[in-house]
Amino acid sequence: MLPYEPSSTRVQAGDEELRNKELINKLVQENLKEAQAKMKLYADRKRADKEFQVGDKVYLRLHPYQQISVVMRRNLKLSPRYYGTYMVIVGEHIRPFTELPEVTTEATLEPEPEMILNRRMIKKGQRARVEMLV
C-alpha cells in the first residue's frame, strides 16, 4: 500500500479519509507487533532446551493426524500422543534438530536410507507393493 501524501487530492473529504486510513493502518501495525511480541514471550516461557545422554529413557511424541509411523489405528482422535519409553542409544549427546533437512525444488524430502534391514511383499487386490524396513 502506498503511503499517504498530504494534499494529494483536490477534495478535502477525500484527503481526510486518506489521512484517517493511514492512521488506522499505523495503529493496526503497532498492535500486531505488540501482540506478536506477547505471543513470542509466552511461547519462550514454555520452551526449554533438552539434552539427552546415552541410556536415558524418553517418550516419543507423535501428532496423531500427521505422524502415524509407530502404530496404525482406526480412530486417530483417540490415539495416544506419547509412545515409549525408549532408550537413547546413539551418540554422545542428543539434541533436538536445529536445522531443517534439504528439500528438492518441488519441496519434497529425498530420503537417503543407510541400510535396508528387511523387505516384504504385500498384495492388495491386483497390485503388489514392496515394504522395506530401513
Mean pLDDT of 96-101: 64
Between vectors from CA 43 to CA 39 and to CA 45, what angle results, nearest 5°? 120
The size of the chain, in residues, is: 134
Pick from 6-15, 48-57, 92-101: least confident: 92-101
Determine contact, residues 88/60, Cβ cutoff 8 Å: no
For the entire predicted model, the pTM comes to 0.38
Q: What is the largest CA-CA distance in the chain?
A: 78
State residue 27's pLDDT score. 95
Provide the pLDDT confidence category of residue 66 given band limits of 50, 70 and 90.
Answer: low
Mean pLDDT of 12-41: 90
Chain mean position to CA 61: 14
13: left (phi over 0), alpha (psi -120 to 50) or beta: alpha
